[in-house]
Amino acid sequence: MNPFCNCVQSDEKLFDPIWLTLEPQKVNTFFRPILQENESHKINSVLYESDQKFNLEIFRDRLQNLFFWYYHQVYRVKGYIQADDGTVYLVQTTGQEVFITIPKNKIKTKTQLVVIGKELKLKTVERIFNYAIVIK
């Protein structure tokens, strides 16, 4: 859930679409975090890239571990991974569900993953994913 969105309580079918155009302070909300002007949301993304090939099963395991170990920091992972057989797979996560599929259109030829979360460090992501690289 987005803690910065407007939340409106309404009875069924009584939602007025005009509420979507109102300024946040004019909408009756039941949850709105209070941020100080000098506070930032600390949400960022890191781009993990590699020309190496990956063991798909180890990668899937490492990705699931990423969500287990850093559940409070990692929100989403999306991109492409090149498996050890040369196949490029589409990687998408929703919540803690991991989907690795063959894309309809082969766009990428190397591994590129965007990890979105809170106060993420590329070194941490590299340490976790590099474990799945196939060493020749």
pLDDT digits (tens, 9 = 90+) for 25-42: 554 544 445 445 555 678
Is 35 inside any structural domain? no
CB half-sphere exposure, 118, CA atoms < 13 A: 9
The residue-averaged pLDDT of 8-30 equals 59
Supply the mean pLDDT for the chain: 81
Within a domain: residue 127? yes
**Looking at the 3D structure of the chain, how many domains does it have?**
1
Residue 99 lies in a domain: yes
Tell me if 26 is assigned to some domain: no
CA distance linking residue 112 with residue 43, whole number of Å? 20
Give a yes or no: residue 109 inside a domain: yes
- Is residue 37 one of the residues assigned to a domain? no
- Asked if residue 50 is part of any domain, the answer here is yes
pLDDT of residue 32: 47
Domain that holds residue 95: 43-132
pLDDT at 107: 73
- The better pLDDT of the pair 112, 2 is held by 112
* 130: pLDDT strictly greater than 80: yes
In this structure, what CATH number is given to the domain that contains residue 126? Answer: 3.30.1220.10
